[in-house]
């Protein structure tokens, strides 16, 4: 809620300086596929997934990865970790365990309808819930390996949009 309030405030500030309204929350959700998580006891947890933004203005796809010491909350929280060299970022919006967490995704792209360059960028925020139903996990002594079930759909609906300078 705290983050949402901040976003709302920054949206209002930006709207005060921009003539046009931001696009309504009609953006299609981010699509998460090929999610993998490998937890090694007394070692690292490695994490990866592919995110796709189906908005026709961008239609972008990117692999995101993460690594943290198993059992710690060393994953990105609050701020976003950039996915590769891209305009996508991710964090753990909430984390209960390796089979129950909420992924936060941000993505910026050009939307000429919000303003003239360089004020023609928008930044969208989505969050997607991952549960044990989305994952197939195998456990061996000291390790757990989870993969998104084949053909499984994890969506991260857009919950906030802000305008952004290039």
Ligand X SMILES: *[C@@H]1O[C@H](CO)[C@@H](O)[C@H](O)[C@H]1NC(C)=O
Chain positions contacting ligand X, by CB under 6 A: 43-44, 56, 59, 67, 85
Is the Cβ of residue 87 or residue 100 nearer to ligand X in the bound state?
Answer: 87
Q: How far is the CB of 132 from ligand X (least distance, A)?
A: 25
Rounded to a whole number of angstroms, the distance between the first and last alpha carbons of the chain is 27
Is 81 in contact with 66 (CB distance < 8 Å)? yes
Q: Which is nearer to ligand X, 81 or 129 (CB)?
A: 81
Whether the upstream peptide bond of residue 118 has omega within 30° of 0, thus cis, is: yes
Shortest CB 29 distance to ligand X, Å: 15
Cβ closer to ligand X: 67 or 165? 67
Our CB check for ligand X shows the closer of 11 and 50 to be 50
Q: How far is the CB of 71 from ligand X (least distance, A)?
A: 12
For residue 105, give the nearest of 85, 88, 118, 121 by alpha carbon: 88
**Residue 62: C-alpha distances to residues 4, 55, 119, 140, 149 (Å):** 25, 14, 24, 30, 19
| Contacts made by residues 136-143, CB under 8 angstroms, sequence distance 24+ | 137/98, 137/99, 142/40, 142/41, 142/42, 143/38, 143/39, 143/40, 143/41
* Shorter beta-carbon distance to ligand X: residue 74 or 157: 74
Q: How far is the CB of 140 from ligand X (least distance, A)?
A: 16
What are the phi and psi torsion angles at 33 (to 5°)? -135, 170
State in angstroms the smallest separation of the CB of 1 from ligand X.
Answer: 33
């Amino acid at each position: 809620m705290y983050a949402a309030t901040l976003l709302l405030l920054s949206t209002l500030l930006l709207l005060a300086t921009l003539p046009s309204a931001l696009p309504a929350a009609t953006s299609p959700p981010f699509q998460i596929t090929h999610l993998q998580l490998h937890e090694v006891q007394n070692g690292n947890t490695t994490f990866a997934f592919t995110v796709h933004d189906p908005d026709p203005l961008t239609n972008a796809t990117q692999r995101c990865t993460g690594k943290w010491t198993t059992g710690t909350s060393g994953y990105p929280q609050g701020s976003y970790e950039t996915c590769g060299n891209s305009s996508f970022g991710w964090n753990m919006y909430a984390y209960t365990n390796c089979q129950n967490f909420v992924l936060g995704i941000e993505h910026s792209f050009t939307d000429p309808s919000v303003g003239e360059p360089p004020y023609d960028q928008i930044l969208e925020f989505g969050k997607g819930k991952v549960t044990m139903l989305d994952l197939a996990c195998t456990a061996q002594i000291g390790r757990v390996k989870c993969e998104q079930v084949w053909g499984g759909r994890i969506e991260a609906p857009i919950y906030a949009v802000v305008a952004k300078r290039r």
